[in-house]
Amino acid sequence: MKGVSGVPRALFVHAHPDDESLWTGGTMARHARRGGEVSLVTCTWVPGTARHGELLDAARELGLSREPIMLGYADSFVPESAPGATPFVSAPFDEQVAALVAHIREIKPHILVTYDAYGMYGHPDHIHANRLTCAAADAAAIGAYRPDAGEPWQVRSLYFITIPETTVTTLKPHLTEDSHLPVSGTPSDRIDLAVDVDDCLGSKIRAIVSHKTEIARSASMKAFGALPRDPQRLFLQWESYLRRDLVPGGAELA
């Protein structure tokens, strides 16, 4: 089952603005170039903030089918991301599942993409996004669950962003301890999909650079930007995923 173009529709669920570009920007741009509908849910930050405007710029660079959907929760470490809103990890889980299910039933993606169960490097918002996405994927297909949220929709495959063990080993000598990098990555034989995004690297880099506020603030972003050419190229050129099919055969992301 595919979209009108013959390419599956893909919905990416990310915790914060910039995550979509840094971790999946090449895959998103590549999938869009193939004619696939690419949509994005961003769980934190709200319209009217600087980082929301930067996210819109990044989304245009990546070829998204529509403006990013903002769930409107606060970044766990940045309250001003959504003034007065509940932190993403503290909000009622059932409320969040219902909200994401409504978006899934409207967009009807064949593929959902989010972080692996460890959030790649243990960030609580990333871990929570994984749990939310998995729960919503299951709930969206159940007719008795929130019939007011639209007709049931069966997602075919889940893809979980991860970092290869070999990449961690290569980057570790060049990064400080506070950089967002896991202690150990995923062994190569466990990775289901490694996407070479070299043909979309320009779009990915322009999308990353759109997030000017985070680049100026984040020590990790500065550290990644200061990597020597070859390690930086390795980090930017390859995007890796674990895959879980929810129906026989699933759907191909790339």
CATH number of the domain that 225 lies in? Answer: 3.40.50.10320
Mean per-residue pLDDT, 84-106: 98
Torsion of CA 225, 227, 232, 236, to 10 degrees: -30
Q: Are 10 and 31 in contact (CB under 8 A)?
A: yes
Q: Which domain holds residue 223?
A: 10-242
Q: Give the separation between CA 221 and CA 119, rounded to whole angstroms.
A: 17
CA 99 to chain centre: 17
Q: Is the pLDDT of residue 177 over 80?
A: no
Least confident of 18-32, 102-116, 149-163, 224-238: 224-238
Give the residues across from 111 on adjacent strands. Answer: 10, 157
Which pLDDT band, with edges at 50, 70 and 90, does 4 fall under? low
CB 62 within 8 A of CB 203: yes
The pLDDT, as a whole number, for residue 3 is 65
Compare 150 and 218 and report the one with higher pLDDT: 150
Residue range 162-178: average pLDDT?
87
At residue 1 the predicted structure's pLDDT band, cuts being 50, 70 and 90, is very low
Residue 249 lies in a domain: no
Overall number of domains in the chain: 1
Spatial distance between the Cα atoms of 220 and 161, rounded to a whole number of angstroms: 18
- Residues 184-194 as b/e (b if ≥16 CB within 10 A, e otherwise) read ebbeeeebbbe
* Nearest C-alpha neighbor of 139 from the set 187, 106, 94: 94
> Does residue 115 lie within any of the structural domains?
yes
Q: Which of 44-53, 178-187, 243-252 has the weakest average pLDDT?
A: 178-187
172: left (phi over 0), alpha (psi -120 to 50) or beta: alpha
In a domain, 251, yes or no: no
Q: Is residue 1 part of a domain?
A: no
Quote the pLDDT of residue 218. Answer: 86
Contacts of 182-188 with C-beta under 8 Å, sequence gap 24+, read 182/118, 182/120, 182/121, 182/122, 186/116, 186/162, 186/240, 186/242, 188/164
- Residue 227: CB atoms within 10 A of its CB come to 18
**pLDDT confidence of 219, banded at 50, 70, 90?**
confident
Average pLDDT, the chain: 94
Q: Does residue 200 lie in a domain region?
A: yes
For the stretch 189-217, pLDDT in tens is 999 999 999 999 999 999 999 999 999 99
107-124 average pLDDT score:
96
Q: Is residue 168 part of a domain?
A: yes
| The one-letter amino acid at 146 | R
Q: Which of 102-116, 173-187, 210-224 has the lowest mean pLDDT?
A: 173-187
